[in-house]
């Protein structure tokens, strides 16, 4: 019996020792895992093909009016020729052999302009500069015709649509002023560039940047109104500008609740004041009638004047 107890005790001791060793090993592995978390995560680096491609906003910056180009009709022009001091400008960079992005930007622009009340050539102009110095007036004319064909209000006319080509030094003067950073990808034989359109004041200053390949018509309309700096803006459009402000975080125009409440309060006061004025005027007329009736001479029935 004592031998049996001894064997059992030894078995339990061995089992306990084995358990301790397993737990110790698990603890050691856990400690090792805490001390060695493995390889560090890869840094959030810019892909090689996108290096040097960006937009650095220069809000309020002036575009070089002396930058020289050739328009789609083969005529030499200066960029300042398109800033008349009266109308804003929708501005875009796009080269004519771009396989995708430039066409997406131009198509999205025309699609939105079709839903904007203002008309190209009347209230504002569109200026497009090719970033490829190898583009020609012929390619500019072809691209302009393609774009205008999607804008029914033009009826085939080129009024207000300006597609320009030029030397790289002149192109760079303008891209630097806008903050449009791009580069030529030698491997793919095309330009890497961002997607955006720009709304310019009548004097040729950058008023607003709109990003991406989808431009809500409301944002373009408000951006043009804002860029127009109050010129030829109706009362309704001034109210729109008061109620909507550009949200730099969301990159779009948003309703300003406080201004809407102020405007609503002002309208309510005007309506209430008008109501009180009308009621006061009516009451005043009633009193005048009552006074007039009270002071009118009274005639007794059957009496005759002597």
What pLDDT, on a 0 to 100 scale, did the predictor assign at position 263?
42
What pLDDT, on a 0 to 100 scale, did the predictor assign at position 160?
97
Structure token digits, residue 208: 């607003």
Q: pTM value? A: 0.65
Nearest to 116 by CA among 216, 27, 19, 186: 216
What pLDDT, on a 0 to 100 scale, did the predictor assign at position 10?
40
Residues in the chain with pLDDT values less than 50 = 1-36, 232-235, 237-238, 240-241, 257-260, 262-263, 266-267, 306
How far, in Å, CA of 185 to CA of 53, rounded? 11
Angle of helix 235-243 relative to helix 217-227, nearest 10 degrees, comes to 110
What pLDDT, on a 0 to 100 scale, did the predictor assign at position 233?
42
What pLDDT, on a 0 to 100 scale, did the predictor assign at position 40?
54
Q: For the chain, which domains are there?
A: 50-230 (3.40.30.10)
pLDDT tens per residue, range 186-239: 988 999 999 999 999 999 999 999 999 899 998 999 889 888 875 544 445 445
Strand pairing class (89-93; 125-129): parallel
* Residue 81: how many other CB atoms lie within 10 Å: 14
Task: Check if the beta carbon of residue 86 is closer than 8 Å to that of residue 67.
Answer: no
What pLDDT, on a 0 to 100 scale, did the predictor assign at position 269?
52
Structure token digits, residue 117: 């009340």
Cα-to-chain-centroid distance, residue 59: 13
């Amino acid at each position: 019996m004592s031998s049996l107890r001894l064997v059992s005790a030894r078995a339990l001791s061995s089992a306990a020792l084995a358990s301790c060793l397993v737990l110790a090993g698990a603890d050691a592995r856990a400690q090792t895992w805490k001390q060695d978390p493995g390889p560090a995560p890869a840094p959030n680096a810019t892909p090689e093909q996108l290096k040097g491609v960006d937009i650095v906003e220069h809000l309020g910056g002036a575009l070089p009016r002396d930058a020289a180009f050739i328009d789609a009709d083969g005529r030499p022009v200066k960029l300042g020729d398109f800033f008349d001091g009266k109308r804003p400008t929708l501005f875009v960079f796009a080269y004519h052999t771009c396989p995708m992005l430039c066409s997406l930007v131009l198509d999205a622009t025309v699609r939105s302009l079709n839903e904007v009340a203002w008309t190209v050539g009347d209230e504002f102009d569109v200026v497009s500069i090719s970033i490829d110095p190898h583009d020609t007036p012929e390619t500019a004319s072809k691209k302009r015709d393609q774009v205008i064909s999607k804008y029914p209000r033009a009826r085939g006319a080129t009024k207000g649509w300006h597609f320009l080509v030029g030397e790289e030094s002149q192109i760079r003067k303008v891209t630097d002023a806008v903050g449009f950073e791009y580069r030529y990808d030698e491997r793919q034989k095309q330009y890497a560039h961002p997607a955006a359109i720009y709304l310019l004041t009548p004097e040729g200053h950058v008023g607003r940047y709109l990003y991406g390949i989808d431009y809500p018509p409301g944002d373009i309309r408000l951006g043009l109104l804002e860029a127009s700096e109050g010129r030829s803006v109706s009362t309704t459009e001034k109210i729109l500008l008061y109620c909507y402000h550009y949200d730099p975080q969301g990159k779009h125009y948003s309703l300003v609740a406080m201004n809407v409440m102020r405007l609503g309060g002002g309208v309510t006061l005007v309506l209430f004041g008008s109501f009180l004025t009308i009621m006061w005027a009516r009451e005043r007329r009633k009193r005048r009638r009552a006074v007039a009736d009270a002071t009118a001479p009274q005639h007794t029935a059957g009496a005759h004047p002597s």
